[in-house]
Amino acid sequence: MTVSVAFASAALAAWLYLIFARGGFWRADMREEREASPEPQVWPRVVAVVPARNEADVIAESLGSLLQQDYPGSFEVILVDDQSTDATAANARAAAARLLRPERLVVVEGEPLPQGWAGKLWAMKQGVDHAGSQPKRPDYLLFTDADIAFAPDALRHLVSHAEARDTVLTSWMVKLRCESLAERGLIPAFVFFFQMLYPFAWVNRPDNETAAAAGGCMLVRRDALTQAGGIEAIRNALIDDCALGERLKSVGPVWLGLTERAHSLRPYPDVGDIRRMVARSAYDQLGYSPLVLAGVALAMTLIFLLPPLYAVFGTGLAQSFGALAWVLMAFAFQPILRFYRLSPLWGLALPAIAALYLMFTLDSAYQYMRGRGGLWKGRVQARRIEGQ
């Protein structure tokens, strides 16, 4: 067996494993719209916690969607203004007044970020503390971002799902913007790779240790959060949603799925915007390990880059195995492309897309080494440890 045939057959074997033995991640069939649940007889009290830092351009729309939720139970929104230097808080109050829902909104002025905390988690903790200080404490906390817009019935479905399945965490991966050329080319792959890392079917099985969540929408039982150690337990996590999912799955069942009932308002006009989004936390995902980074680079090269190279330039078995692996790759990409209503031809471009994501990951390590890891809204949240 030649080296080319060996590598091509390894790539094909990898795709056979991914399609048939990786929790069916590629099917994108964990969809909250397919999980109909009966409404509870008594609607629990819910408080939404929204950390916001310099979100003046989107806060009115996102907060407005929360304030207009058609929820029969008690519902309040706590916006934690995380040291914003723009009109985030003023625009939030104006939106509440315009919608005649000022009683549903509380704006908490965020305190300076203490040592050892990631910015978003510090803001979330302040919101949780404020909710817990009220005479009537909430049954659930809805953690969401300041750039997420919800359908009017979203909270009803979230709570009904959580109550019917007795989950401690119900998380929706909101639909990301997919309008610009960069978004159409790269955003579906972002979700595809996330599902590959954390197959939703495995996340949703209590007997499987895989745990994750999507930070744009996380409905959490307050008592379970306390039992899991609170936000303090993950205070310095950059990938805070998956860290919270892991903590909560140790307490009880969790559920994660795609949704059409919530979408992101955050635009990514060009490739550079998506690169910065990925580079902010990619190296953190790898534990800041150069060895793990090298392993990931080799694995992505084998799985995504070699198949089209062998299919085009190879001969004999190497060419056949490479072509078949490329076909399987394009096939696996189709469900998420359909979810985002994109042409199936994007499936053939997955090797090139994966090459870009590999470059983003390498850039994440580079930014960390130069002391700019986890950069977000002017904050460096992953400082290089001397000696690394």
Quick one: 253 and 292 in the same domain? no
Judged against a pLDDT cut of 90, whether residue 12 lies above it is answered with: yes
What are the pLDDT digits (tens) for 69-82? 999 999 999 999 99
Mean pLDDT score of the chain, rounded to an integer?
94
**288: region left, alpha or beta (phi > 0 left; psi from -120 to 50 alpha):** left
Other beta carbons within 10 angstroms of residue 212's beta carbon come to 26
- Return d(Cα 388, Cα 371) in angstroms, integer: 11
Quick one: 251 and 302 in the same domain? no
Query: Residue 376's beta-bridge partner residues?
Result: 379
What are the pLDDT digits (tens) for 112-123? 999 989 989 999
In a domain, 386, yes or no: no
Quick one: 286 and 347 in the same domain? yes
In the DSSP assignment, the letter for residue 33 is G
Quick one: 160 and 211 in the same domain? yes
- Return d(Cα 334, Cα 278) in angstroms, integer: 22
In a domain, 385, yes or no: no
What are the pLDDT digits (tens) for 265-307? 999 999 999 999 998 889 988 999 999 999 999 999 999 999 9
Residue 59: which of 93, 29, 85 has the closest Cα? 93
The last residue of a domain, from among 243, 268, 293: 268
- Return d(Cα 47, Cα 28) in angstroms, integer: 30
Quick one: 85 and 222 in the same domain? yes
Quick one: 116 and 164 in the same domain? yes
Quick one: 248 and 314 in the same domain? no
pLDDT band (50, 70, 90) for residue 374: low
Judged against a pLDDT cut of 80, whether residue 373 lies above it is answered with: no
Query: Domain range spanning residue 18?
Result: 3-25+273-369
Quick one: 283 and 260 in the same domain? no
- The DSSP code sequence of 84-128 is -SSSHHHHHHHHHHHTT-GGGEEEEEPPPPPTT--HHHHHHHHHH
pLDDT of res. 369: 87
Other beta carbons within 10 angstroms of residue 196's beta carbon come to 16
**Average pLDDT value for residue range 364-374:** 80
pLDDT band (50, 70, 90) for residue 1: low
Quick one: 18 and 37 in the same domain? no
Q: Which residue has the tokens 């062998």?
A: 310
In a domain, 331, yes or no: yes
Judged against a pLDDT cut of 90, whether residue 378 lies above it is answered with: no
Q: What percent of the chain has pLDDT over 70?
A: 95
What are the pLDDT digits (tens) for 138-184? 999 999 999 999 999 999 999 999 999 999 999 999 999 999 999 99
How many independent structural domains does the chain possess? 2
Quick one: 280 and 309 in the same domain? yes
- Return d(Cα 290, Cα 296) in angstroms, integer: 10
pLDDT of res. 238: 87
**Average pLDDT value for residue range 334-350:** 98
Residue 157: which of 175, 172, 168, 136 has the closest Cα? 172
Residue 44: which of 155, 158, 159, 169 has the closest Cα? 159
Which residues have C-beta within 8 Å of that of residue 35, sequence separation ≥ 6? 161, 255, 257
Per the model's pLDDT, the better-predicted residue between 16 and 279 turns out to be 16
In a domain, 388, yes or no: no
- Return d(Cα 338, Cα 350) in angstroms, integer: 15
